[in-house]
Amino acid sequence: MGMNKKKTKSQEELLKEALVPVEEQPYEVPENWVWVKVGSINNGKRRGIEPNQFEDEVFELYSVPSFVTNEPELLSGQEISSNKQVVEPGDVLICKINPRINRVWTVSKKSRYRQIASTEWIVISENQNLHSKYLMYLFRSPYFRRLLTANVSGVGGSLTRARPKDVEKYPVALPPLNEQKRIADKVERLLGKINLAKQLIEEAKATFELRRAAILDKAFRGELTKKWRDENGVDSIWENHEIRSLIQELNQGWSPKCENYPSIEAGKWGVIKTTAIQHMNFVEEENKQLPDSLQPREKHEIKAGDILITRAGPRIRVGVCCLVREVRPRLLLCDKAYRVRVNLERVIPEYLVLVLNSPKILDEINSMKTGISDSGVNLTQEKFLSIMLNIPSINEQKEIVRIVDKLFVNEQKVNEIYGLVNKTDIVQASILDQAFKGELGTNNAVERNYFSQ
């Protein structure tokens, strides 16, 4: 009985496999573009590495950590394990591991070393009909990100991943080669302008934050109220108090399983997220709606005058404090934050929040945080309550708050700047969406796509 030989597929059969049927195409593109499956544009499988295969060579390793620094790591051949893959200049790498999914990198064409990648990457090979930068931006687009994040497998959290066999079936829009180049060039120019704007915004934020820190530092050394004390014949009497002696109540909230959308109606209960608590700013829209099947624990309802401080989460987000100046009804405190209500005979809430946002106290709070990694730390009640604060009379507290509020007129500008950062992200996503729908005005309708030839 003879051996079965694998039948070689015709060009027509290969083309039929590559193209996405009209009814399965996600959206319309120009007529000279085609929808193809990712697997059809990939130029073969990656080669693995055998033990001691290249022990006398130097390698550039494309890993997820080196993506952050934008610098591949240099390794000797003796350091290379078999769970690596050889890559070529121009190859596009897509991270398949959550939560880093949609990190996309292009293998440098300028390196003098052999290049390899960790197995965290799905490798898409460049060929003569593909432009690597076009592919890079395509795989960074919101459309492709949605595909990746919607089709992951695993037990959840950081263990979920996109499977290469599934990614090969994803539909992508492919214009003619020259149009790919034009799109990549235009996207690069536009994103360059956005990145410059982001840099200027970050510099402005840093300037405002430094100014705010300097004002608060002076406020709690008594410098801002020296003239007021002289004019009113007030003696400068400041006393040290632990926070526990300044407050009436400290508690943490409740974190039930909520809906994946915010409560936007005052008649619907919501539980705030920790992101509702920003430095000296409360954002009530940052909440999740409580399911109708759960009874609200009304003792955790947030009221005007409450001081909120985050107590658990990433290091950078723990110890963030704000005053709730006004708030809609039916918003509940979450479990990862404390609510403080002050003893009004000793301190006013506006003053206490300013102190808790001063550089000295923020540094002290940071030193109190405990946890095995910066991704998850805690601020215990006992440590928080033991913080010593220098407190003047109620009248001087009010004067300090008045002066600081006047000096913080630019604080609104800081909030507007934070909003601008979000807007640049939206514009960037919009550019990428337009690019891969053929809406950047660069398409030449007479050019042909090699899949359609």
Cα–Cα distance for residue pair 366/318, rounded to 1 Å: 8
Q: Which helix (H) or strand (E) holds 390?
A: strand 388-391
For the residues 115-142, what does the mean pLDDT come to? 88
**Residues 205-215: what's their mean pLDDT?**
82
Q: Taken in order 257, 263, 268, 274, is the CA torsion positive or negative?
A: positive
- Residue-wise pLDDT for 9-24, tens only, equals 655 666 677 888 999 9
| pLDDT recorded at residue 336 | 97
Question: First vs last Cα of the chain: how many Å apart?
Answer: 41
Q: Which CATH class is domain 239-391?
A: alpha beta
Question: How far apart are alpha carbons 314 and 30 in whole angstroms?
Answer: 45
Q: What angle do CA 210, 214, 215 make, to 5 degrees?
A: 120
Report the share of the chain in percent with pLDDT over 70: 87
Long-range contacts of 261-268 (CB under 8 A, 24+ apart): 261/288, 261/289, 262/286, 262/287, 262/288, 262/289, 263/287, 263/288, 263/289, 263/290, 263/330, 263/331, 266/328, 266/329, 266/330, 267/330, 268/330
Specify the pairing of strand 114-118 against strand 58-62: parallel
Specify the fold of 11-174.
Adenine-n6-DNA-methyltransferase TaqI; Chain A, domain 2 (3.90.220)
Distance between CA atoms of residues 40 and 18, nearest Å: 5
Tell me: pLDDT of 159 over 70: no
User: What is the distance between the alpha carbons of residues 33 and 365, in angstroms, rounded to a whole number?
Assistant: 57
Longest pairwise C-alpha distance within the chain:
113
Kindly report which listed range (19-28, 36-45, 218-227, 406-415) carries the lowest average pLDDT score. Answer: 406-415
The tokens describing 167, both together, are 């990614």
Q: What is the C-alpha separation between 103 and 136, in angstroms, rounded?
A: 10
The answer to whether residues 37 and 170 touch, using CB atoms and an 8 Å cutoff, is: yes
Q: Which residue has the tokens 């040290």?
A: 240
Whether 26 has a pLDDT exceeding 90, the answer reads yes
Residue located via tokens 């708030």: 327
What value does the mean pLDDT take over residues 215-242? 92
Task: Give yes or no for residue 58 having a pLDDT over 90.
Answer: no
pLDDT at position 8 is: 63
Condensed to tens digits (0 to 9), the pLDDT of residues 137-148 reads: 999 999 998 888
| Whether the Cβ atoms of residue 102 and residue 140 lie closer than 8 Å to each other | yes
Least confident window among 15-29, 71-85, 193-207, 324-338: 71-85
Which contacts (CB < 8 Å, 24+ apart) does range 293-296 have?
294/256, 296/269, 296/330, 296/332
Q: Compute φ and ψ for 215, nearest 5 degrees.
A: -65, -45
pLDDT at 200 (0 to 100):
82
Quick one: average pLDDT of 369-388? 94
